[in-house]
């Protein structure tokens, strides 16, 4: 049975070149990067070359890239340290953020009594930029935390617009770029964002590794204490193979970006038109443009029928997600969809289908066949 993987917003497969590079490091580079003798220095040079390559692609400086275990950790660290160490008194975020941001922000409200404000969400799933500007009008030391691409519906933030607004109002800006890094160009000289985060498993790299970009003038303090690795910001012996694998995946993602993006855009269009054929009154959740690798479809059917369909899809080797990946299995309505769908639509089942360069028209046809058979 052909496995059809259509959940690339949850995680992605490893590129063969990444696996090869990681195996090479695992078998040949066992040194501790902190050791001063040759095998240690060799491991250190791999780490630093990886940092340089990632920084160059983002038009950042190497010293602004900190390796960390994942997107969740990076988001938590930045939000916590901004409040604790940069005298932030207010966080402005949205209710559509990933829980790694939402729960971290709520925790800061509990622990440090920071003010927590939510920017309004428009019916098309975008943030209300006017409301954000209005909130920023209050002269309180503020951290704005808004995601670049929403992991459930693909709504894309105007990163430059928000970064400029934050700069104008002297607010710090943290952007959860987990879904966009490796999939779209980000020029950090051009965009005055203070912090961004990435997770390698979202761009065909290994799990358990990511990075944070911390703009030079923002001096964060560590969340965990120990060694001097990552300038003391993220203590613990570096996983050299993970770092090298991430840098390789990142490099390939950008080398092939134009060609792969074009392919994925075409697949998305194909999938949407096929869904429209099966369900003439189908609706797509989120705004019309949405990010190019995600389709979130509102299925015009009952909950029971949808549960049966998800079971069928799984039986036929098709991986798709109901709502957010992190929520799969949960029966609660998605906290993202709850923000902009009306009560009636919220009760209907929604499916998230997300693509990669490996997705083919045949994969979509298999999905559509199963949907039609239920
Ligand atoms: N932020 C967003 C937008 C995500 O989609 C995810 C993962 O689904 C995360 C953060 C968490 O990243 P990680 O899996 O690396 O902890």
Mean pLDDT of 272-299: 93
Whether residue 306 contacts residue 299, with contact meaning beta carbons closer than 8 Å, is answered with: yes
pLDDT in tens, 119-169: 999 999 999 999 999 999 998 999 999 999 999 999 999 999 999 999 999
Whether residue 221 contacts residue 235, with contact meaning beta carbons closer than 8 Å, is answered with: no
pLDDT in tens, 11-62: 999 999 999 999 999 999 999 999 999 999 999 999 999 999 999 999 999 9
Please tell me the distance from the alpha carbon of residue 174 to that of residue 80, in angstroms, as a whole number: 12
3-state class (DSSP) for residue 307: helix
Lowest mean pLDDT among 175-189, 244-258, 269-283: 269-283
Residue 348 is predicted with a pLDDT of 87
Residue 327 has pLDDT above 50, yes or no: no
Choose, from 70, 166, 271, 326, the residue flagged as catalytic: 326
State the distance from the centre of ligand 1 to the C-alpha of 177, rounded, in angstroms: 9
pLDDT in tens, 357-368: 999 999 999 999
Strand order in the sheet with 195-199: 65-68, 210-214, 195-199, 172-176, 142-145, 90-93, 115-118
Residue 325 is predicted with a pLDDT of 32
Mutate to test the pocket of ligand 1, among 7, 71, 197, 205 (most ligand atoms within 8 A of CB): 71
Give the pairing type, strands 172-176 and 4-5: unpaired
309-328 burial by CB neighbour count: b if 16+ within 10 A, else e? Answer: bbeebeebebbbbbbbbebe
Q: Is 205 in the pocket of ligand 1 (CB under 6 A)?
A: no
- If you ran DSSP here, which 8-state letter would residue 232 be given? G
Query: Tokens standing for 193?
Result: 């964002």
Locate the ligand 1 atom nearest the alpha carbon of residue 97 and give its number.
3
| Common-topology check for domains 4-12+257-373 and 16-255 | no
Select from 3.90.1150.10, 3.10.129.10, 3.20.20.70, 3.30.70.790 the CATH code of 4-12+257-373: 3.90.1150.10
Residue 286 is predicted with a pLDDT of 94
Residue 372 is predicted with a pLDDT of 87
List of residues 6+ apart from 359 with CB closer than 8 A: 5, 6, 8, 264, 267
Residue 259 has pLDDT above 50, yes or no: yes
Percentage, residues of the chain above pLDDT 70: 98
State the distance from the centre of ligand 1 to the C-alpha of 211, rounded, in angstroms: 12
State the distance from the centre of ligand 1 to the C-alpha of 98, rounded, in angstroms: 7
pLDDT in tens, 69-109: 999 999 999 999 999 999 999 999 999 999 999 999 999 99
Mean pLDDT of 271-283: 94
State the distance from the centre of ligand 1 to the C-alpha of 199, rounded, in angstroms: 7
Q: Is 151 in the pocket of ligand 1 (CB under 6 A)?
A: yes
State the distance from the centre of ligand 1 to the C-alpha of 70, rounded, in angstroms: 8
From residue 13, give the alpha-carbon distance in Å to each of 167, 169, 195, 278, 371.
37, 41, 27, 29, 25
pLDDT in tens, 169-213: 999 999 999 999 999 999 999 999 999 999 999 999 999 999 999
List of residues 6+ apart from 23 with CB closer than 8 A: none
- If you ran DSSP here, which 8-state letter would residue 62 be given? G
Domain residue extents for the chain: 4-12+257-373, 16-255
CA-nearest residue, atom 13 of ligand 1:
71
State the average pLDDT for the chain.
95
Residue 328 has pLDDT above 60, yes or no: no
Q: Is 176 in the pocket of ligand 1 (CB under 6 A)?
A: yes
3-state class (DSSP) for residue 278: helix
List of residues 6+ apart from 65 with CB closer than 8 A: 51, 54, 55, 58, 211, 212, 213
166 is catalytic: no
From residue 357, give the alpha-carbon distance in Å to each of 86, 247, 267, 271, 354.
41, 18, 9, 14, 11
Q: Is 179 in the pocket of ligand 1 (CB under 6 A)?
A: yes
CATH of domain 16-255: 3.40.640.10
Please tell me the distance from the alpha carbon of residue 25 to that of residue 46, in angstroms, as a whole number: 9
State the distance from the centre of ligand 1 to the C-alpha of 53, rounded, in angstroms: 22
Residue 240 is predicted with a pLDDT of 98
CA-nearest residue, atom 5 of ligand 1:
151
Q: Is 178 in the pocket of ligand 1 (CB under 6 A)?
A: yes
Q: Is 326 in the pocket of ligand 1 (CB under 6 A)?
A: yes
């Amino acid at each position: 049975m052909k496995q059809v993987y259509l959940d690339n917003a949850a995680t992605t497969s490893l590129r063969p070149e990444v696996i090869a590079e990681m195996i090479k490091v695992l078998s040949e580079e066992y040194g501790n990067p902190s050791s001063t003798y040759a095998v240690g220095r060799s491991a250190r040079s791999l780490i630093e070359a990886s940092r340089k390559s990632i920084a160059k692609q983002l038009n950042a400086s190497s010293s602004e890239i900190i390796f960390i275990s994942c997107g969740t950790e990076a988001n938590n660290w930045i939000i916590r340290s901004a409040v604790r160490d940069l005298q932030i008194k207010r966080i402005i975020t949205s209710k559509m953020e990933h829980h790694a941001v939402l729960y971290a922000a709520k925790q800061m409200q509990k622990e440090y009594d920071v003010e927590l404000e939510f920017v309004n969400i428009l019916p098309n799933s975008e943030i209300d930029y006017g409301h954000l500007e209005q909130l920023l009008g209050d002269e309180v030391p503020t951290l704005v935390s808004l995601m670049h691409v929403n992991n459930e519906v693909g709504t894309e933030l105007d990163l430059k617009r928000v970064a400029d607004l934050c700069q104008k109002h002297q607010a710090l800006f943290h952007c959860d770029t987990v879904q966009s890094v490796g999939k779209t160009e980000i020029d950090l000289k051009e965009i005055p964002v203070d912090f961004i985060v990435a997770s390698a498993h979202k761009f065909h790299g290994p799990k358990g590794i990511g990075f944070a970009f911390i703009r030079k003038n923002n001096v964060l303090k560590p969340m965990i204490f120990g060694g001097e690795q990552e300038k003391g910001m993220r203590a613990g012996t570096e996983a050299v193979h993970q770092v090298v694998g991430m840098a390789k995946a990142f490099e390939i993602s950008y080398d092939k970006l134009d060609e792969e993006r074009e392919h994925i855009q075409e697949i998305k269009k194909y999938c949407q038109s096929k869904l429209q054929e099966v369900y003439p009154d189908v609706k797509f959740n989120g705004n019309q443009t949405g990010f190019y690798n995600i389709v979130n479809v509102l299925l015009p059917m009952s909950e029971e029928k949808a549960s049966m369909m998800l079971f069928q899809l799984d039986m036929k080797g098709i991986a798709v997600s109901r709502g957010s990946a992190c929520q799969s299995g949960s029966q609660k309505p998605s906290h993202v969809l709850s923000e902009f769908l009306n009560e009636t639509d919220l009760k209907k089942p929604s499916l998230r289908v997300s693509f990669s360069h490996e997705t083919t028209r045949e994969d979509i046809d298999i999905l559509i066949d199963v949907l039609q058979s239920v």
